Amino acid sequence: MGSFSIWHWLVVLLVVLLLFGSGKISGLMGDLATGIKSFKKNIKEDEPDASMAETTAQPPAGNLPSPGTTQSVADPNRTVVRQPPGPV
């Protein structure tokens, strides 16, 4: 009762094709593919910027902290989320 058979899915597909038509569905798939390509292109463009930020955030070699001490470098790309104290 909880799962659908192949016949149920075929009827649903037929109804969708009758309502929207094959031209509208192929247009939507083309728009979806264009959006995915654009997303991937933007991700590839952002990757070199992230690697440059990591190399510039490190302190110069002459100013290294002495062993046993900690030093914090502020990263402008890092987002800190603060949660209120107490049980969640």
CB atoms within 10 A of CB 25: 13
The per-residue pLDDT for range 23-73, each reduced to its tens digit, is: 888 888 899 999 999 999 999 887 765 555 555 555 555 555 566 655 555
pTM > 0.75: no
Spans of all domains in the chain: 19-57
User: What is the chain's alpha carbon radius of gyration, rounded to the nearest angstrom?
Assistant: 26
Q: How far apart are CA 73 and CA 64, in angstroms?
A: 12
Half-sphere exposure (CA, 13 Å, Cβ side) for 56? 9
**CB distance 36 to 13 below 8 Å:** no
Give Cβ neighbours of residue 65 (< 8 Å, ≥ 6 apart).
Answer: 71
**Residue listed under structure tokens 């910027």:** 49
